[in-house]
Amino acid sequence: MKLAKYQLSSGQHGVARVEGDHLIPLDLSGGQYRSLFEILESDNPYEAADFLSKAEQIPLAQVQLLPPIDQQEVWAAGVTYKRSQQARMEESEAAASCYDRVYASPRPELFFKASPHRVSGHGQPLRIRADSKWNVPEPELTLVLNTHLQLVGFTAGNDMSSRDIEGDNPLYLPQAKCYNQCCGLGPWITLPVGMPPRSEIGIRLVIHRGGKIIYDGRTGVDHMARTFEDLIGWLGRDNSFPTGAFLLTGTGIVPETPFTLHKGDIVEIKIDGIGTLLNPIVQG
């Protein structure tokens, strides 16, 4: 089952199940569950959504999908794939060994990525910082965690990154990673029962410029050097999440140097079991 947040042209918005090319809105007027977050907090989100389903359908083409987030924090793991370790060592002469060490260390790299207002959903713009000249999208399988850090769903994430800022000095990582419109999430959340086995989850990044595909790369979760449970366990050490969390699990695709995004590019992230997250790129 897939759960989405949507808005109609009238401005009316809601939560819905996604079935093929249409939405089945959920009735949240009863007060038992008032938001997507509260459904994800329930003992059985699948049954809760099934129970709330209205006898009504809206074509997906008639809605604007919203990011499938309420008040959760967004965190990200880094250097969880060999390709990310190699690319980071290449961009950061001064601190190459940091990336080498973290790839092999028991403690993973985890960083705060975004608050909800910095997140864009499917079709909404993602930003290149005005003070950066080398930028890439990072396509990442994203774990949806409830307040007990239980894995209650999956979505696609785009961990937009300014490689020149991070490469200059790793202490600049928060500026390379966290700014307005820095994170894509969507198009919706797939509940765990709807996902393929982990070893079969493929991830694809396609970048369009001027109507042409200028980059097309693939990886799979089977290339990830860590397990979801390991990352969640470290995230939860002496850390509480009273509004739940999203955890991007790191990128296994980094376009070759000197590729950089331009404003006007369209980025598509396709993840098996979820679907396609598409975002146009803007720069201030």
- Residues making contact with ligand DO4 (CB under 6 A): 76, 78-79, 84, 88, 109, 138, 159, 173, 250-251
- Closest to ligand DO4 by CB, 5 or 177: 177
Three-state DSSP state, 101: helix
Q: From the list Mg ion, ligand DO4, none, which binds 79 (C-beta under 5 to 8 Å, kind-based)?
A: ligand DO4
Q: From the list ligand DO4, Mg ion, none, which binds 244 (C-beta under 5 to 8 Å, kind-based)?
A: none
Q: How far is the CB of 113 from ligand DO4 (least distance, A)?
A: 8
- Closest to ligand DO4 by CB, 84 or 146: 84
Q: Which residue is nearest to Mg ion (CB)?
A: 159
Residues within the interface to Mg ion (CB under 5 A): 138, 159, 251
Q: How far is the CB of 165 from ligand DO4 (least distance, A)?
A: 11
Q: How far is the CB of 177 from ligand DO4 (least distance, A)?
A: 7
Q: Which of 257, 255, 235 is nearest to 247 (CA)?
A: 235
Q: How far is the CB of 102 from ligand DO4 (least distance, A)?
A: 7
Q: From the list ligand DO4, Mg ion, none, which binds 109 (C-beta under 5 to 8 Å, kind-based)?
A: ligand DO4
Beta-sheet strands, E only, within the chain: 2-7, 13-19, 22-25, 58-59, 64-66, 73-78, 109-114, 119-120, 126-128, 135-136, 139-145, 151-159, 161-162, 183-190, 202-209, 212-220, 245-248, 266-271, 275-283
The Cα–Cα gap between 79 and 32 comes to 41
- Closest to Mg ion by CB, 61 or 171: 171
Q: Which of 118, 133, 159, 134 is nearest to 267 (CA)?
A: 159
- Closest to Mg ion by CB, 48 or 92: 92
Q: How far is the CB of 186 from ligand DO4 (least distance, A)?
A: 18
Output helix, strand, coil percentages for the chain, rounded to the nearest 5. 25, 35, 40
Three-state DSSP state, 140: strand
